[in-house]
Amino acid sequence: MLGNNIAYCLKDKYEILGLYHSHPVFIEGIQTIECDLLSRKEFCNLVNRFKPDVIIHCASLTDVDACEVEQDKAYQINVLGTQIVMEALKDLPLTKVIYISSDLVYDGKKGNYSETDPVNPLNYYGLTKLKGEIEALKRETTLVLRTNIFGWNIQKKLSLAEWIISELSCGHTIQGFNDVIFSSIYTFELARIIDLALKKNLAGIYNSASSTSISKYEFGLQVAGLFGLDEKLIHSISIDQASLKAKRAKNISLLVNKLTKDLGIKLPSIKECLQEFYQDSSHQISTKIKNVKLSNIYPQTDIIPYGRQSIDDEDIQAVVSVLKSKNLTQGPKIKEFEEALCQTIGAKYAVVVNSGTAALHLACLVAGIKSTDEVITSSNTFVASANCVVYCKGHPIFADIDPTTYNISIQEIEKKLNNKTRGIIPVHFAGQSCDMKPLHDLIRKKEQVMGHKIYIIEDASHALGSLYENTSVGSCTYSDMTIMSFHPVKHITTGEGGVIFTNNENFNKKLILLRSHGITRYPDDPLPWRYEQIDLGYNYRITDIQAALGISQLKKLPLDILKRREIINSYNEQFKNLESVQIPFEVPKCATNFHLYVLLIDFEKIKMTRSQVMGALKEDGIQSQVHYIPVHTQPFYKNHFGTNWGDLPNTEKYYQKCLSIPLSPAMNDLAVSRVIKSVTKILG
C-alpha cells in the first residue's frame, strides 16, 4: 500500500522502479518488477541494473498478530530483508535509504513519544522493525521514519480507514478501541514529507506522523462522519477486551517537533489528513489507484457490456491451485466458501450449489411445495424465480410490482393470498431489497388465520452486498431462506453457481442432503464404505474449482460496492435532468449495491423505439439489455397457467420503458464517461 501510494504521488517528479513480491502492481508511467527481497542475488542484480539514487524501503510483514505467530517469517522479512537491502548497496555509497519504521517500537505506556525517548517494543512486530532500523542505520545517511499510516490499499486487504468504510457500508458493527491512541498520517502526506526530506537530505531517526492524536474509536467516528456512514455501528471497547495474539501498545502518539523544525513545515492534523483522504475519495483517487489493476482484469473487450464478470490474476491463481490439488470437487473449498459467505452476510448457514436456479429448486423442496400449493412471486424477474415452483408441481401466482421500486407490491401480494398459498418468493429486483418487514408481518398474520405455514424465500440473486434496514440482504431476518446466484453477470461469480442462506438448522441439513442425491453417511459408522439414500435428491453440487473462485471473488465485494456506488452516483448526476428519462428510485432504508442500472425511457417522447436506442448505443460500443420480459407473458406460462398480457398493468408498463445500461466494477472512468456521453446524446 505505502509503496504504491508514494509512487502514485511522486511519479511525475522522479523516475521510479516499483518492486513487488507476490501481488503484481501496475501503475501507469512506472516500471514495476517482481522481486523476492530475500533472494540476495535477485535484489543485488536489480539494484546494480537500476542504480537507484534513493531506496524507500517499505517492504515488511506488517500484520502484528501474524508476526507474533510466525516469528521466523517476520524476522526474515523485516530484519534479514533490511540487511539484504543494505548489503546490496555496498558499491553504491551515494544511494540514500529511507527506512519505514513503526510507532510500535515504543511501548505505549506514556504517549507523546519523541525520538529521544527509550524504545521498548511490546510485540515481535515492533521488535523486528526496531532491529530493521539498526540494520538500516548502519549507513550514516539513512533516514528512518517512525510512522503509522492509512491510505489506499491496492490489494484486497484494506487499510484501517478503508476497512471502516467498507464494514459500515455493509451495515456491519465494528469495534473501535477507545484506549489505543495514535497519530496516524495519510500516505499521501507521508509521500510529501519524503519528497521534502530528500530535498533537505535529512538523516537519522524521525517520528513522521500527524501533529495530533486520537483513539482508534474516535478515528472510526471521524471516518463515519465524513463518509456519511452510521456512527452507531461503531462500538467503543477497550483493547483489553479484544483477544489478540500479540500484545499491543496503548498510547503510541508521536511528537513530530523534530520533523516540523527540520522540514520547516507544519504537519497536518489527523482531521486534516482524513479530510484530504475524503476529498481524494470523492475525486475518485481511490479508483485511479485501484485501477492500476484494471489492465489485468478479464475479459478485456472494447464493447462495454451491461454487466460482466471481473476476473483478476488472484482469481486465476485460486482456481489453478485447486486444479493442482487432489480435490476438484467435494473437497475443503466448499465449506470454506460457505463460511466466508456466512461471515459476509451474517446468516447462520449457507449451502452452495451449482446455480441460482438449483438454489431456488432446493429451497422450494425444503418448503415442501407440492401440486396443490400456490407460491406468489414477481413477474418482473428471470424465469427461474417462477420455474422453481413448477419443478415442484406447484402453481406460481404473479403479483404486480410497485411502480416506484419495480419490486413486488405487498398490497398486491395480499390480494392474491388464499388458503392454497404455501410460499412467497420476493425478488430483490436490480439489487434493491423488497420491503421485507411489512411482508413478513403480513405473512405471519395470514399464517395464523389459515393455520398453516407460509414460507418466505427471498430471491436475492441481484442483491449481494445490499442492506435492508442496516442488515445484509441474505441474513434471513425476515424470511426462511434466501437464495443468490453467482452467474457471471452477478456481483461475484463462480462460472455457474448459487447459494441458499438460512438460520434454520433443519433446513440446512435438508438442503445439504438434497444437494447430493439425498444420500447421507453416518459419522463413526463401523462400515466405512456405507452410504444411504434417504430422500430423492439431485446432483446440485458445486465444484471446489468454482468454490475457490467464489472465495477469491468474495474478497473483492467491499471494492465492488464502492466502485458500483461511484458509477451510480455519476450516472444519477448526469441523467437526473434528462426529460425523457427516469433514474432508479432508491429507498432510503435500503443501502443498495445495485446489480443493474435501469433507466425508464419515454420512447414516444424521444421518437425512437427501444430497438433503435439499443442499436444507437451498440454503434457507440455499448451493450444494453431489457430486464425483464414479464414472466407471465412467456408462452409456457400462458399455455400452462392461463396468464396473459393485461394481468399485471404496472409490470407491463414498466417493461415497455425499461433499459439496463452498463454497470460493472470493471468499468474505468473512460468507460463510464463513454456511456454517459452516448446516453446523453441519444436520449437528451
DSSP string, 119-138: P--SSHHHHHHHHHHHHHTT
Residues with Cβ within 8 Å of residue 327, at least 6 apart in sequence: 333, 544
Q: Please give the DSSP secondary-structure letter assigned to residue 427.
A: B
Residue 597 C-beta: closest distance to ligand PLP, Å: 15
**Which letter does DSSP use for residue 79 in this model?**
I
Q: Can you tell me which residue has the cell 503510541?
A: 252
End-to-end CA distance of the chain: 42
Whether the ω angle into residue 649 lies within 30 degrees of 0, i.e. cis, is no
| Nearest residue to 210 via CA among 259, 253, 270, 278 | 270
Binding flag, residue 461, ligand PLP (CB under 6 A): yes
Q: Which residue, 30 or 547, is less far from ligand PLP as judged by CB?
A: 547
Stretch that binds ligand PLP, among 317-325, 355-363, 527-535, 550-558 (CB under 6 A): 355-363
User: What are the C-alpha distances in Å from 456 to residues 59, 421, 423, 489, 515?
Assistant: 51, 11, 6, 25, 20
Contacting range for ligand PLP; rule: CB under 6 A; set: 126-134, 302-310, 349-357, 404-412: 349-357
Site string for ligand PLP, 288-307 (x = CB under 6 A): --------------------
- The residue from 5, 60, 166, 385 that contacts ligand PLP (CB under 6 A) is 385
Segment interacting with ligand PLP (CB under 6 A) among 108-116, 220-228, 242-250, 457-465: 457-465
* Binding positions for ligand PLP, 488-527, rule CB under 6 A: 498
Angle at 123 between CA 120 and CA 124, to 5 degrees: 105
Q: Does 102 bind ligand PLP (CB under 6 A)?
A: no
CB-wise, 248 or 361, nearer to ligand PLP? 361
Question: Does residue 220 touch ligand PLP according to CB under 6 A?
Answer: no
Q: Under the criterion CB under 6 A, does residue 19 sit at the interface with ligand PLP?
A: no
Burial label, 163 (beta-carbon count in 10 A; 0-12, 13-18, 19+): middle
How far apart CA 461 and CA 358 sit, in angstroms, is: 12
- Is residue 571 near ligand PLP by the rule CB under 6 A? no
Q: Alpha-carbon distance 210 to 376, whole Å?
A: 58
Near ligand PLP by CB under 6 A, which window of 174-182, 381-389, 522-530, 630-638?
Answer: 381-389
Nearest to 206, CA basis, from 105, 309, 334, 92: 105
Residue number with CB closer to ligand PLP (25 or 500): 500
Between 381 and 432, whose beta carbon lies closer to ligand PLP? 381
356 lies in the site for ligand PLP, by CB under 6 A: yes
**Which CB sits closer to ligand PLP, 498 or 665?**
498
Q: Which is nearer to ligand PLP, 384 or 600 (CB)?
A: 384
Closest CA to 661 of 605, 594, 606, 609: 594
Of 162-170, 182-190, 327-335, 350-358: span binding ligand PLP (CB under 6 A): 350-358
Q: Contact between 431 and ligand PLP (CB under 6 A)?
A: no
Identify the residue among 281, 409, 482, 485 touching ligand PLP (CB under 6 A).
Answer: 485
Of 306 and 382, nearer to ligand PLP (C-beta) is 382
Among 145, 198, 384, 430, binds ligand PLP (CB under 6 A): 384
* 550 binding ligand PLP? (CB under 6 A): no
Residue nearest to ligand PLP as judged by C-beta position: 356
Q: Are 83 and 134 in contact (CB under 8 A)?
A: no
Q: Are strands 174-177 and 234-237 parallel, antiparallel or unpaired?
A: parallel
**Residues at the contact surface with ligand PLP, assessed by CB under 6 A:** 355-357, 381-382, 384-385, 427, 459, 461-462, 485, 487, 498
